[in-house]
Structure 1
Amino acid sequence: MSQVTLTDSDPGLARARPDRAQTAVELTGVGKTFGTGAGAVTALRGIDLRVAHGEFLCLLGASGCGKSTLLNLLSGLEEPTAGTVTVTTARPSFMFQEPALMPWLTAARNVELPLQLAGQGRSARRTRARELLELVRLDGVGEKRPHELSGGMRQRVALARALAAATSTDGGAPGLLLMDEPFAALDAITRDVLQGELLRVWEATGTTVVFVTHDVREAVRLAQRVVLLSSRPGTVVREWRVDEHGPELHDEITGRLRQVITSHAA
């Protein structure tokens, strides 16, 4: 029997930094299989994972290990075939590799869209959109459409929109931001800048972040905790708290990732 539970956080928490002792996400014995019979494919098996409120967690693994499937389970887009998934933040939101902005809407209207869909009034959502664009350093470009913006600027708009979607409309606690390799399609310099911007925004908002990547350097730079998944079916191989390791952490994680990939190929 599987279960997915999504509950709203206490609005009284406002925008204060969440208590890291509290659990934002918990997966217990989670498995996910697609299809049935001889054609069934098991993407995840026996996942036990806990993410604290306000934590920045990176999921690392080779292509096809179930990282994106795990994000889909956290968002409620998929249901587990085994185990339980519990999310206790405001509603989860996604940020993808492509910005996926509405080309006929301005930057500000793209950010407003999830607030409008959630029923927020025009004045409140315009104010919030302006605040979020300022947060991602795009003040002054709210009236521009996506084609008038660079790739990096479009991803900043996508980040502002994701933050709008992840925050409860009553001004309550920050939500859960699920990021599926959002910078992978960008050039190295733009990616480096946006990684720094993401850390700044995360510190400013206290949003819980689960960030999927196959880039060890990116994981070590961004995360407080790095979780390595095995090749399919994905299971937790090991995790590291970044602040408890020195400069050798990158090489250590890279070595373990190579072991995972080699064992799968064998």
Structure 2
Amino acid sequence: MTATLATAKNAAVTLSGVRKVFGHGTSAVLALDGVDLQVEPGEFVCLLGASGCGKSTLLNIVAGLDAPTSGDLELTTSRPAVMFQEAALMPWLTAERNVELPLRLAGVKRGERKEKAGELLSLVRLVGAGHKRPHELSGGMRQRVALARALASTLGSAKEGTPGLLLMDEPFAALDAITRDVLQAELVRVWRETQTAIVFVTHDVREAVRLGQRVVLLSSRPGRVVREWNTAEGDEVALIDEITTHLREVISGHAA
């Protein structure tokens, strides 16, 4: 595998022939097999597939948390930010300090990072909550803080003249339906305001169509890109039905 830093005029993410094998010999598991995928700067792409199809593995490879067995990865940012299902906030830090943390690690001066943390908390509509610690916040509020912190992680790349990249692994799956709907709408608003490229992993067809500009369907293990849809084309209800049909075919084909 080779990983190179592309120029800002190129795609935010380019995966070419990415393959991932876990284990060795007879116990080896092929998780991804020849994945080709490109995400443009500022684009919102949803990765859709059944459980165990390799969505999270693919995201971890893009994040640099894991390495592919073979294939090429090209990024326009050296520091993609990652947001998981759990907010994973530092419990001893306030919301503001949690957001400041990646800026502190990047060497941003105290005054500037405090100002940026305030701006990001305002962006996710948490003005006045910066002094609270995670246990004082609801699940939805904790995920808003996690989103603000993830956006803070992309600021270093923006300063270097490269577009931001946010990787999200089912960040709303553990929330109740009403809170999830609210945060989905908030995420779209934040994305439009920041123009950060987003790769969003989900197994929920409705969520994928509602959020993404493009929906990419992975096959069941081993994961391969089998179909893509532009969500701006066609009726939303019809698109959901069409994608659901293809997802069911992928799942039933694997079961057979």
Coarse TM-score class (shorter-chain normalised): over 0.9
Identify unmatched segments of 5+ residues in structure 1.
11-18
SS at match of 1:80: coil
Which residue among 15, 35, 42 is the counterpart of 1:54? 42
Q: Which residue of 1 aligns with 2:240?
A: 250
Q: Does the aligned pair in 2 maintain the 1:107–1:146 contact within 8 Å?
A: yes
Letter in 2 for 1:156: R
Correspondences of 1:91-130 after superposition (within 5 Å)? 91-130=79-118
Q: Could you report, residue by residue, the CA deviation over 1:129-182 in whole angstroms, capped at 9, with x for unpaired residues?
A: 000000000011100111111110000000000000122167344411000000
Q: Is the contact between residue 29 and residue 83 of structure 1 (CA under 8 Å) also seen in structure 2?
A: yes
Of 120, 125, 129, 1:132 maps to 120
**Does the 8 A contact of 1:6 with 1:87 survive in 2?**
yes
Q: Is the 8 A contact 1:93 1:178 kept in 2?
A: yes
Determine helix, strand or coil for the equivalent of 2:79: strand
Q: Equivalent pairs: percent with the same residue? A: 68
3-state SS, counterpart of residue 254 of structure 1: helix
1:64 and 1:169 map into 2 onto residues whose CA distance is: 31
Decide whether aligned partners of structure 1 residues 174 and 135 sit closer, same or farther in structure 2, where only a CA change above 3 A counts.
farther
Letter aligned with residue 39 of structure 2: V
Give the corresponding residue for 1:213. 202
For 2:78 and 2:57, locate their aligned partners in 1 and report how far apart those are by CA, in whole Å. 20
| Letter of the 1:207 counterpart | T
- Tell me the secondary structure at the aligned position of residue 212 of structure 1: strand
Structure 1 CA distance, aligned partners of 2:221 and 2:204? 18
Q: How far, CA to CA, are the matches of 1:104 and 1:135 in structure 2?
A: 23
What is the rounded CA distance, in whole Å, between the counterparts of 2:62 and 2:162 in structure 1? 18
Whether the 8 Å CA contact 1:174–1:205 is kept in 2: the answer is no
Out of 175-184 and 34-43, give the one that drifted further. 34-43
1:80 positional shift: 1.2
Q: TM-score, normalised by structure 2?
A: 0.96
1:75 aligns with 2:63: yes
Change (3 A) 1:170 1:217: closer
Task: Answer yes or no: is 1:176 the counterpart of 2:165.
Answer: yes
What's the Cα RMSD here? 1.3
Q: Which runs of 5+ in 2 are unaligned?
A: none
In the other structure, the counterpart of 2:150 is 162
> Could you tell me whether the CA contact under 8 Å between 2:77 and 2:164 is conserved in 1?
yes
* Residues 150/71 of structure 1: CA separation in 2 closer, same or farther (3 Å cut): same
Amino acid at match of 1:237: V
- CA offset at residue 52 of structure 1? 0.3
Say if 1:164 and 1:174 are closer, same or farther in 2 by CA, change over 3 A. Answer: farther
